[in-house]
Amino acid sequence: MSDDTSLSGLELHSEVTSSGELILSLTRIDVGEPGDDEVVVRVEASPLNPSDLGILLAAAELSTAKTTGTGNEIVVRATIPAAKLGGFAGRFDQPLPVGNEGAGTVVRAGRNVEALLGKRVAMQGGGMYVQYRTLDAAQCLPLPDGVTPKDGASVFINPMTALGMVETLRREGHSALVHTAAASNLGQMLVRLCEKDGIGLVNIVRSAEQAQILRELGARHICDSSLESFDADLIEAVAETGATLTFDAIGGGELAGRILVAMETALRRKPGAYNRYGSQVHKQVYVYGGLDLRPTIVDRSIGMAWGIGGWLVMWFLEKIGPEATQRLQARVLSELKTTFESRYTAEISLTDALRPDVMAAYNRRATGEKYLINPALDAA
């Protein structure tokens, strides 16, 4: 639907220069008329997930951050260590939009999708740290009545990843799984989901506080990697659940290898299980996050039936196809305020997101400290 009033809004950009500088800024963008199948959405909520932080901050040393300008004119510059710069060569000197997913209200709609005008929708497709996002209506999911943009901001990534993990387990013939960094927002969803679906889940955390959070959610198997008894505890939990699949958000260091050792040990100790090549039961680790970017170290005393691979929700959904994806999406919407609820520590504007003290806070990626950007809080 056409509207004569001109519309413009701020968009957050992240640029990595070939000389090793990160530049964050806000740019005013004119919003054109949407195409026939497009909508313009006023973005009112978009989470700052670890994957967004990777694009936004690009491994810059935040202690070097310097700010110039005020209000919408704010620009942040920080140094990227030379050793890490090569990894960003593909995006040198290009200001990139950021923000994988979000939610808001449709303020303009093309002629084929006018029914969406005024509706609240969740969106995927990137570039969500912006006041107005123009996108194909097919990338939007209308939110049910009573669901606010804040409730719907994280519909796509974490809930679909938790469901994708369970779907992977079923499709690959496993009966229980291990999850690392398990007190994360996603980990808490997975605890509720596995409990509801009757799937065995071993939760690996790294502190007593995180163990307590999961205990209060009803998690049955929690192994704290900060305890001396961790490896023994893990073997017991894996043996009890029969877990042969792991989703590892950490990736770097020795944890993935220690989980494989625990699985192999639990399988080998079954009566009559001896085989000189190790257990024939396949043990799989999917590294699905990069919370630790060091190399992944695997102790090879794990026989010959194991694998480590990467896993990305978008590619998994492409693999299972649109029908299965829609089934999972419908489940997310129907359990949005229960199984798939996300909690946020603070709601911030685009300009707040460029304040060095706020950047340091959200970059901690700490348990229970997820931030939500609401670009509608910035002056239009």
Ligand X SMILES: NC(=O)c1ccc[n+]([C@@H]2O[C@H](COP(=O)([O-])OP(=O)(O)OC[C@H]3O[C@@H](n4cnc5c(N)ncnc54)[C@H](OP(=O)(O)O)[C@@H]3O)[C@@H](O)[C@H]2O)c1
Percent helix, percent strand, percent coil in the chain, to nearest 5: 35, 30, 35
Query: For the sheet containing 7-16, what is the strand order?
Result: 61-68, 75-79, 21-31, 7-16, 96-97
CA gap 358, 346 in Å, rounded? 10
Please pick, from the candidates 223, 250, 281, 372, the single residue that binds ligand X as defined by CB under 6 A: 250
Spacing of C-alpha 124 from chain mean position: 13
Q: Nearer to ligand X by C-beta: 119 or 365?
A: 365
Size of the site for ligand X (CB under 6 A): 26
Place of tokens 């290898």: 257
How many angstroms separate the Cα of 10 from the Cα of each of 94, 244, 317? 17, 47, 31
The binding track of 202-231 with respect to ligand X, each residue x by CB under 6 A or -, is ----xx------------------------
Q: Annotate 281-345 with three-state secondary structure.
A: CCEEEEECCCCEEEEECCCCCCCCCEEEEECCHHHHHHHHHHHHHHHHHHHHHHCCCCCCCCCCC
Q: How far is the CB of 53 from ligand X (least distance, A)?
A: 9
Which residue from 121, 124, 120, 134 is spatially nearest to 100, judged by alpha carbons?
124
- Which parts of 113-152 interact with ligand X (CB under 6 A)? none
CA gap 288, 273 in Å, rounded? 31
The binding track of 281-320 with respect to ligand X, each residue x by CB under 6 A or -, is -------xx-xx------------------xxx-------
The DSSP secondary structure of 29-58, one letter per residue, reads: EEE----TTEEEEEEEEEE--HHHHHHHHT
Please pick, from the candidates 46, 139, 158, 284, the single residue that binds ligand X as defined by CB under 6 A: 158
Residue type, 137: A
Please pick, from the candidates 57, 143, 165, 181, the single residue that binds ligand X as defined by CB under 6 A: 181
Phi first, then psi: what are they for 224, rounded to 5°? Answer: -100, 115
Please pick, from the candidates 65, 106, 178, 183, the single residue that binds ligand X as defined by CB under 6 A: 183
Tokens linked to 303: 């026989």
Contact status: 365 vs ligand X (CB under 6 A): yes
Q: Nearer to ligand X by C-beta: 17 or 207?
A: 207
Give the count of beta carbons closer than 10 Å to the beta carbon of residue 266: 24
Q: Nearer to ligand X by C-beta: 14 or 161?
A: 161
Contact status: 51 vs ligand X (CB under 6 A): yes
Please pick, from the candidates 370, 374, 375, 378, the single residue that binds ligand X as defined by CB under 6 A: 370
Q: Which residue is nearest to ligand X (CB)?
A: 289
Contact status: 49 vs ligand X (CB under 6 A): yes
Please pick, from the candidates 12, 238, 249, 372, the single residue that binds ligand X as defined by CB under 6 A: 249
Q: Nearer to ligand X by C-beta: 291 or 320?
A: 291
CA gap 164, 321 in Å, rounded? 12
Q: How far is the CB of 48 from ligand X (least distance, A)?
A: 8
Q: How far is the CB of 273 from ligand X (least distance, A)?
A: 32
Q: Nearer to ligand X by C-beta: 282 or 365?
A: 365
Q: How far is the CB of 51 from ligand X (least distance, A)?
A: 5
Site of interaction with ligand X (CB under 6 A): 49-51, 157-158, 161, 181, 183-186, 206-207, 249-250, 288-289, 291-292, 311-313, 365-367, 370
